[in-house]
Amino acid sequence: MHLSDIILLSQEDTERATTDIAAIVQSFSLTSPLGALRYGRIPLAELKQWITKGVRADLEHESQYPRITQLGTDEFGLNIERYESLVIEDLDLQPLSSPVDQQLAPNHGQIVAHASFLYHPSNEKRQSSDKIGKEPAISSEANQTNDLPSSGHGELHRYWNQAVETALESEFGDLHCFEVRELSVLAPSHWRKGIASTLLTWIFPFADRIGVPVVLAATPAGYPLYLKHGFVQVSGKNGIVECDMAQWGGSGIHRHVLMSRAPAKQE
């Protein structure tokens, strides 16, 4: 295992990155009881195709916005939404992208971890995305048109995604903050190697510099990691989002926990 430094994705990286990131998502998509209930009946080839389409849509959506790394240096200031996608590669592994994409971007390994961060301006000062001089942004629900294959549990899939997004919007929608939209590592080969921590903590200096929290919805697998890095559960009715899987043909309770990390005091 020979891990790269953090790599910031650009719009030109979308095609080569999509296949590798989709493989990461698929590697853990069936590992939780909720994932198995939602996706377990989908043939693997069809599941791969669906995940790949969704990853590509997300990356294309994010690419339409200013970068978090340009916060404070470009003309858009603090009042416009921003994204940043970062990856870590294993240089001992060949990328899964097409030979053509590999030729266009030589000397890359396989992407084994991916993080996506969203910057939320304060609500009262937020500017419309059409002020950034780009094409109008796709809906924030970039995957609305990517319907789950019919063999999946579509009703449960839509219910759970909506439940989590509604809780996030209710709790953090008006908040000036950074949000962790995605943090994923290739399972199980690259778990517990410190890779997720490397990606997660990348955003902290940006949040600390302008004095805003970092927020997220923690999965059961990610919850201990976030506690380790100073996140705490938010109080109130939105603090825990639950799914009683018995209502959907499964068993047990699946929970996501809304969490927030306060900015560190600047010296």
Residue type, 111: I
Task: Determine the pLDDT at residue 92.
Answer: 92
pTM beyond cutoff 0.85: yes
Could you give the domains of the chain? 7-126+152-261 (3.40.630.30)
Q: Answer whether 108's CB lies under 8 Å from 5's CB.
A: no
Print pLDDT tens along the chain (267 aa). Answer: 999 999 999 989 998 899 999 999 999 999 999 999 999 999 999 999 999 999 999 999 999 999 999 998 888 888 899 999 999 999 999 998 766 666 656 778 999 999 999 999 987 666 655 555 444 333 344 445 788 999 999 999 999 999 999 999 999 988 999 999 999 999 898 998 999 999 999 999 999 999 999 999 999 999 999 999 999 999 888 899 999 999 999 999 999 999 999 999 876
Start-to-end Cα distance in the chain: 38
